Amino acid sequence: MLDGELGEAKQTAMGILAALGKIYNAEKMIPVKNAQVAGVSYKTIGDAGLEYLEHLASKGAKVEIPTFMNPAGMDVEQWKGMGIPKDFAEKQIKILDAYKKMGIMSTYTCAPYQIGIRPGKGEHVAWAESSAVAFANSVLGARTNREGGPSALSAGICGVTPYYGLHIDSNRVARVKVKVEAELKTENDFGTMGYYIGKLVGKEYPAFHGIKADEIQLKLLGAAMAASGAVPLFYVKDITPEYVVTDDAEEIVFTENELKEMKEEIDSREKPDLVTLGCPHASIDEIKKVAELVEKKKPTSKFWICTARKTKEEAEKLGYDKIIKEAGGIIVADTCMVVCPLKEMGFNITGANSGKAAKYLPNMCKQKVAYGDIEDILYR
């Protein structure tokens, strides 16, 4: 591949992987089961990214293993109704076409594990979306580094990745413990703790004890730590499939005070123009919960629930879509509040229950954030 015997596109992709391998002293390449490519929204990759992808596609680049996409900058079916600017949509469609030409699946989700793509414990993958990386490593026990868009795409094209970092078991050791004394009740509580701990630990792998959590809560926790810090792996005692901590780990204590202060720091206390839920993308259970809530009492703000298209279709079949529409909301597929052009669509204050969304909305979308539990932000 590196010598170009299998074509220019593979040579370019292997060049990227080989360079990464050299930087990190990888002893070899290993096969990966699948790859997840980030850098799909026109908003995040711009014209330079579009040109690069079109160039690769024109050189005949094709993926060798199942490879799927992160959210795009718009719902590919209802973008007009959502007020996405036409020139943005045209560029976005070109990006999606280039990826499709390479054989990449149009999943457009940051939570592939909710639509059946769930690598098992010990399986090697190459994922780029930071929240999905944290989920795959921690909740599923799979092995992936926090890939960049180009390295994940290269892994998809070549079917391998350099063997370093979190692919090697002996590197997957937590050196920070987190003793949780706060009582965490909602997804927002988990996202808030993640926001706080991520900021504190950066790239470390925290090991939590003292909490009970379901998969949705772990998803929100990991996503926030991956955004406020760069945490690619965490453990939760008696819950995650692995829990590996050094004996001399430093211990952080997270109490009700940190929870309250962090929430106060993030929340602008304003009434949102738009409430956005589903960061990371909502599961069918999360959509069901919101549908049940808004059926009883109509929210005081417009709202979106961001999810994968497959999940939206399921919600339509189950009638949640209709209930949500009648309550002033829409189920938005293929995109999210952060990677779509919110500002250009006229929004200034966005509601979010997710720590990750709250971290990115101010910088990437120039939004003030109304932050809190779902009920708080929907009825503020």
Residues near ligand F3S (CB under 6 A) are 70-71, 110, 131, 223, 279-281, 306, 336, 338-339, 356-357, 360
What's the first-to-final CA gap in the chain, in angstroms? 57
- Between 225 and 338, CB nearer to ligand F3S: 338
Least separation in angstroms between CB 177 and ligand F3S = 26
Beta carbons within 10 angstroms of residue 147's beta carbon: 26
CA distance 353 to 276: 8
Contacts of 267 (CB under 8 A, 6+ apart): 369, 370, 371, 372
Three-state DSSP state, 31? strand
Least separation in angstroms between CB 71 and ligand F3S = 5
Least separation in angstroms between CB 72 and ligand F3S = 10
Least separation in angstroms between CB 235 and ligand F3S = 21
- Between 177 and 281, CB nearer to ligand F3S: 281
Contacts of 139 (CB under 8 A, 6+ apart): 113, 215, 218, 219, 222, 240, 241
Least separation in angstroms between CB 214 and ligand F3S = 18
Least separation in angstroms between CB 36 and ligand F3S = 11
- Between 232 and 280, CB nearer to ligand F3S: 280
Contact by Cβ (8 Å): 210, 182: no
Bond preceding residue 280 cis, omega within 30 of 0? yes
Least separation in angstroms between CB 337 and ligand F3S = 7
- Between 172 and 281, CB nearer to ligand F3S: 281
- Between 226 and 323, CB nearer to ligand F3S: 226
* Token pair 């990214």: residue: 49
Contacts of 84 (CB under 8 A, 6+ apart): 73, 74, 92, 340, 341, 345
- Between 43 and 124, CB nearer to ligand F3S: 43
- Between 197 and 357, CB nearer to ligand F3S: 357
**What one-character DSSP code corresponds to residue 352?**
E
CA distance 344 to 365: 9
